[in-house]
Amino acid sequence: MPTLFIFGLGYTASRLAARLRAEGWRVTGTGCAGDVAFDDPAAVLLGLAGATHLLSSVPPKDERDPVLAAYGEAIRDFGGWRGYLSSTGVYGDSGGAWVDESAPIGAGRRTARAEADAAWQALDAHVFRLPGIYGPGCSPLDRVARGAAHRIAMPGQVFSRIHVDDIGSGVIAGFTAPPGVYNLADDLPCAQNQVIEHAAALLGVAPPPLLAIDDAGLSPAARAFYSENRRVANGKAKRVLGWRPAFPDYRAGLGALSANNSPTSASAQPAMASGDQR
């Protein structure tokens, strides 16, 4: 039986796990939805010994990758497929220009993430660089419904994003592809304000007011989000993995969420703040 061991069964990895289990895989791992304690080396090593594939979705903590720090030797010796969910934040600010996998990394605000990204590459892993993630229960629809969405007056500011289930299909496509770095992003980078306005229209409510960034009461993490401006190219994933996003832009993604799910209340919202497991 193909078996995937996941370090960090959080929002994104749990969606992938559910899909693979439905296809006959065995999935085990650490994290909030896992069945193995990260700080139990015997259990982790036993899980790795029985796995054909491993994936880490754990971000750096205290300026280091906790998975490689604790289990780097076992991961180096692992004979199966290796994967790592990284971030397009490693590219830093490109002034709105397109970036692909050949762009330099490490010059942005996420130095530890760039170092972890490079360390997994050195292990011949499949490194998937992800932009802003949205999906059921964790989308602009939910933020608008809760009154937590913002529109920030920053003309020319552009971001990329990805539906959570398109991440899963990209990782699965990587199971039969060569190791390397792959950007998994949709086809339409755009201003965040456009996304919020479309979400509000789908809900039949007025969009939040347009505010200057200094007047929006943003957290430090949210302000840092607006400090970078880039478009993420996904051509390599399409060429090498044969991957295509099922939700090629925010309209398709939000439309599907609006049709199939009602927005989630704040109390039921999954934790997806910066630094959480993917």
Which whole number is the average pLDDT over 236-251?
A: 98
165's tokens: 């289930």
Which whole number is the average pLDDT over 98-117?
A: 92
Which whole number is the average pLDDT over 157-165?
A: 97
What is the domain range of residue 216?
Answer: 80-268
Q: Which residues pair with residue 251 across a beta bridge?
A: none
Residue 144 domain-assigned (yes or no):
yes
The pLDDT of residue 225 is: 85
The pLDDT of residue 272 is: 34
The pLDDT of residue 276 is: 38
pLDDT band of 262, cuts 50, 70, 90 = low
Percentage of the residues of the chain whose pLDDT score is greater than 90? 87
For residue 28, the surrounding DSSP H or E stretch is strand 26-29
Q: Confirm if 162 and 185 have CB atoms less than 8 A apart.
A: yes
Which whole number is the average pLDDT over 181-185?
A: 98
Residue 157: other Cβ atoms inside 10 A = 17
pLDDT band of 69, cuts 50, 70, 90 = very high
Mean pLDDT across the chain: 93
Residue 2 domain-assigned (yes or no):
no
User: Does residue 100 surpass a pLDDT of 60?
Assistant: yes
Residue 63 domain-assigned (yes or no):
no
Residue 233 domain-assigned (yes or no):
yes
pLDDT band of 273, cuts 50, 70, 90 = very low
Percentage of the residues of the chain whose pLDDT score is greater than 70? 93
Residue 109 domain-assigned (yes or no):
yes
The pLDDT of residue 102 is: 97
Which whole number is the average pLDDT over 13-41?
A: 97
Alpha helices, DSSP H only, in the chain? 11-22, 41-49, 66-77, 111-122, 140-146, 164-174, 192-203, 220-225, 235-236, 250-260
Instruction: Specify the number of domains making up the chain.
Output: 1
Residue 70 domain-assigned (yes or no):
no
Q: What is the pLDDT of residues 213-240, one digit of tens each?
A: 999 998 998 888 899 999 999 999 999 9
Residue 277 domain-assigned (yes or no):
no
Residue 182 domain-assigned (yes or no):
yes
pLDDT band of 265, cuts 50, 70, 90 = very low
pLDDT band of 109, cuts 50, 70, 90 = confident
Return the exposure string of 109-132: e unless at least 16 CB atoms fall within 10 Å of the residue's CB, then b.
ebebbbbbbebbbeeebbbbbbbb
Q: Confirm if 83 and 171 have CB atoms less than 8 A apart.
A: yes
CATH number of the domain at 224, please.
3.40.50.720
